[in-house]
Amino acid sequence: PWTAIVFVGALLTVVFGVLNMVVAVVVDEFAEARQKDVELMANELDENAQEDIKFLEDIFARVDEDGSGELDLDELLNGARKIPEFRHRLRVMDIDEADLKQLFYMLDCDGSGTIEPAEFITALSRWLHESKTAARFVKYNLEKAMEQQEQTRESLNLAIERMEHRRSEE
């Protein structure tokens, strides 16, 4: 009778040990499958990104009415009105016609008055997959307001210095 208790205890230990090993193998298999899924998703994202770049290159070429290789504000506005694919892309990004002028200045990183293909493609490709379009507009406006505030502060400081200089001369 006492040996039965020891035997049952040993048997349960072996059974739970084997079950633990089976669970470990199953978990390991699922972890490997998940890793392969992550790699597959990364490959799909890369393929989609390449397709998206080609799509945006095509849109850029169609929006570039004069064939200069750069977009000015009028071309961007006309392209948004005339090219359905571009209009749909902007709509998905929650950019309406009222926002296009601001979009133009945001994309014109170098301040040249035109948008180059790289500026256009990089921003529109990245922004489509991020739900931060509104935040980007707010950030852009805030940065511009801060620049204007800094310029105003510098002008005021210069004016104060002039006034103090004139007052000290009197």
Residues 6 or more apart whose CB falls under 8 angstroms from that of 47 comprise none
pLDDT at residue 71, rounded to an integer: 93
Residues 6 or more apart whose CB falls under 8 angstroms from that of 4 comprise none
107-127: average pLDDT: 86
Residue with tokens 């104060």: 160
In whole angstroms, how large is the CA radius of gyration of the chain? 31
pLDDT greater than 70 at residue 134: no
Mean per-residue pLDDT of the chain: 87
The predicted-structure confidence for 63-76, as pLDDT tens digits, reads as follows 999 999 999 999 99
pLDDT at residue 99, rounded to an integer: 84
The predicted-structure confidence for 34-43, as pLDDT tens digits, reads as follows 777 878 878 8
pLDDT at residue 9, rounded to an integer: 87
pLDDT at residue 123, rounded to an integer: 83
Q: What is the pTM of this model?
A: 0.55
pLDDT at residue 75, rounded to an integer: 94
pLDDT greater than 90 at residue 22: yes
